[in-house]
Each structure stands twice: as C-alpha cells, then as structure tokens.
Amino acid sequence: MRIAVIAPVWIPVPPEGYGGIERMLKLLVDELVEMGEEVTLFAAGDCRTRARQSICLEKAPTEHMGETLFDAYHVGQAYRAIAAGPFDLVHDHSGFLGPAFAAHLPQPVVHTLHGPFTEDTRMFYRAFRDDCYYVAISRRQKESCPDLNYLGVVPNAVDTEEHRPCAEKGDYLVHVSRICEAKGTEEAVLMAKRTGNRILLAGKIDPGLDREYFESRVRPHLDGENAVYLGEVSQEEKVRLISGARAFLFPIRWEEPFGLVMVEALACGTPVLATRWGAVPEVVEHGVTGFLADTPEELEKYLDRLDEIDPAQCRRVAEERFSPRAMALGYLDIYRKALQLHDSRLRRREASPVKAAS
C-alpha cells in the first residue's frame, strides 16, 4: 500500500521534547515500513523516520504554532503533491485543513482525531463528516461526537522498547504529567500524604497557565522528602522514575481523549490508580492492571491492595494492546476498509453519472 502520512507542521517527527502526535507518528510510520508498506511522511523540520520524507520547511515553525499561514503552506503543498502522485491512501493528522479539503483528493483520506471535542470542533468536523474516514483514539472520544463517518478506534501506542519494567521497585508512588488542575496533581499528593506514602512528581509547569496553580495548590504540600517535585525530566529519567514506582497515580478530572502516560506506566510494569474520566476505563482494567474509582478519596483505599496487581501482567497488556505493532495493525485494518468503501463509492458514482453531476 502506498500511504501518504501528513504530520502537523509545528514539530518534527519524532519530537525532541513535547509532541504527543509526533511521537505516535514516529512509532506508526516506522512500524508500517517494517511491515512492508510504502510510506511517505509529509512533515517539517529535522525528521528521522524510516519512511520516505517530504519536508516542506527545514526548520519546523514551532514558534508560529497555530498560524494559518504555515499550516496552509504545509497541507496545501502536501495535498497538491498527493493529488498528482502515486498514493493509494492518505492518513492525515493535520487537525483542520486535512478534513476541510479532503473532498478534493482522489484518494480516501483517513483522519485521526487527536484532541477532545469542544462545541467549535464538533461544529467543524460535522461540516466535513463524510469527507474523511475518521478514527478516534478512544471509544469515549468517539461517543462525545458520534455522528461522524468513523471507521474505528485505534488507541495510541507506547514505545515498548523504551518503556520497560526495572529489576526492582522502589518504595514510592509517582505522578508524571503536566502540572495542572485537570491532571489532578494536588489530588495525587494528598492521596499519598493521607495514606503515609512517599510520592515523586515530575512534569512541565506552563508558566502562563499553571504556575499559579503549582504555587498555591501543590508547593504547600511539598516537603523535599516524602513529597518531592523533580521538575521536567528527560525521557530516560521518566522511564526510570515510573518503572521504579509501586504505583502510578492519575486522579484526573477532565475528559482526556486518551492518556498516553497511563500506557507508559503499564509498559513499565507499574499499576495505574486512576479516576474514571475520559478514556481511563478503556486503558486500565480494574483489579488487573490497576484500580479505578470515582474520587481520589475512594481511589486511595486501593493503595493497600497493590500486591494484587502483577507488574508482568501490566507489561503484557501494554505489549498486546498498546505496542507499535498493535497500533499499525489497527490502522492497516482501517486503511483496507477505507480503500474498499472509497472504491465502491466511486463505482456507485460512475453507475449514476446524472446524480453525480447534479
């Protein structure tokens, strides 16, 4: 299959730091190439993948993030090349421009929805509901805007080579995430404190949005010993930190469409304790790979029962359901469906030319 994959223009694939979509794309395109598919990645900046690469800008315009000029520069040129080029199918991750102009491509366009739905994005995607074959990253995300032309749900993968269990667990809990109210940083610290556990925190503090939350709601609970904030850590440190923890605390309170960090914890053989929001119940199986509850207070009761969870089982689930191979197989299935549907749609149009011309 000759697949054109369109990355967002803002960040290279893979990203150096922040960049969830770009990290997922690196795993996907490399795995598709490994499996024998012919993949061309349309992207910007210093990309290092095993796919053929069509790079529109030497330096990704990260500091211009959100500006229509750069988005249109990238997707416009990609779509023009794809319409004239030897491709069977397009897999688009561009956000809005891909779906808005998909109707003009001769090939089927598969579009992965990466964000949570809002009133505005619902309005947007509904206007182009039949122009793409949509893929959700969780059932929960799909249910929050069910009336699009979906072909399925494919959860994001984690790098199961990079995220591995460690030989021996330490005596601490961990919470790694952007430091903010939605992700439940304060709740995680309080859960640990109330149960007499040590907790280590890591993650970015957005200076604009979240500094005030950190100063007023998180810092007062820190003591440099049993509740410690380690700042932003490298990928390597993050794996060491998570794999050494007895449990990963994830007491979120927002409709997170997926939650990759939970899968990273499972791949590291670390049970996840999480509140039932967003895609959490689709990732963590209660009593098998962690524990679920409706509130942080209920959730903390399970800290006594961590020995019921087998770290090897967490790892197995990550490999089976959230490995790059599992994700690539999920998408290949979607691609085949899209090609079939597109084909029969074209044939229907040819069979009734009058209707098509009207």
* Residue 302 near a copy of itself by CB under 8 A: no
Bridge-partner residues for 202, per DSSP? 176
Of 16, 17, 48, 72, which lies in the binding site for a copy of itself, with binding defined by CB under 8 A? 72
Nearer Cβ to a copy of itself (36/353)? 353
Q: Where are the beta strands (DSSP E) in 154-276?
A: 173-176, 199-202, 227-229, 247-250, 272-275
Nearer Cβ to a copy of itself (133/302)? 133
Q: How far is the CB of 144 from a copy of itself (least distance, A)?
A: 17
* Residue 69 near a copy of itself by CB under 8 A: yes
* Residue 124 near a copy of itself by CB under 8 A: yes
Number of other residues whose CB lies within 10 A of the CB of residue 318:
27
Nearer Cβ to a copy of itself (171/358)? 358
b or e along 52-63 (b: 16 or more beta carbons within 10 Å of the residue's beta carbon)? ebbbbeeebbbe
Q: How far is the CB of 35 from a copy of itself (least distance, A)?
A: 29
Q: How far is the CB of 196 from a copy of itself (least distance, A)?
A: 48
Q: How far apart are CA 90 and CA 107, in angstroms?
A: 7
Alpha-carbon dihedral sign for residues 256, 9, 156, 329: positive
Query: Strand 247-250 and strand 227-229: pairing?
Result: unpaired
Of 36, 63, 66, 225, which lies in the binding site for a copy of itself, with binding defined by CB under 8 A? 66
At 179, list the tokens: 């430091």
Nearer Cβ to a copy of itself (29/113)? 113
Q: How far apart are CA 86 and CA 73, in angstroms?
A: 21
Which residue stretches of the chain are H helix? 20-34, 68-84, 97-101, 119-127, 139-143, 185-194, 211-213, 235-243, 260-267, 280-283, 296-300, 311-322, 324-351, 353-357
Nearer Cβ to a copy of itself (99/330)? 99
Q: How far is the CB of 76 from a copy of itself (least distance, A)?
A: 3
- For a copy of itself (CB under 8 A), the number of binding residues is 30
Q: How far is the CB of 100 from a copy of itself (least distance, A)?
A: 3
Contacts of 209 (CB under 8 A, 6+ apart): 180
What is the DSSP-derived secondary structure letter of residue 134? E
Nearer Cβ to a copy of itself (101/302)? 101
Q: How far is the CB of 345 from a copy of itself (least distance, A)?
A: 15
Nearer Cβ to a copy of itself (101/248)? 101
Nearer Cβ to a copy of itself (104/305)? 104
Convert residues 73-112 into a mask of x (bound to a copy of itself by CB under 8 A) and - (unbound): x-xxx-xx--x-----------xxx-xxx-xxx-------
Q: How far apart are CA 33 and CA 163, in angstroms?
A: 22
Question: Are 91 and 319 a contacting pair, CB within 8 Å?
Answer: no
Q: What does the binding site for a copy of itself look like in residue numbers (CB under 8 A)? A: 66-73, 75-77, 79-80, 83, 95-97, 99-101, 103-105, 120-121, 123-124, 127-128, 131
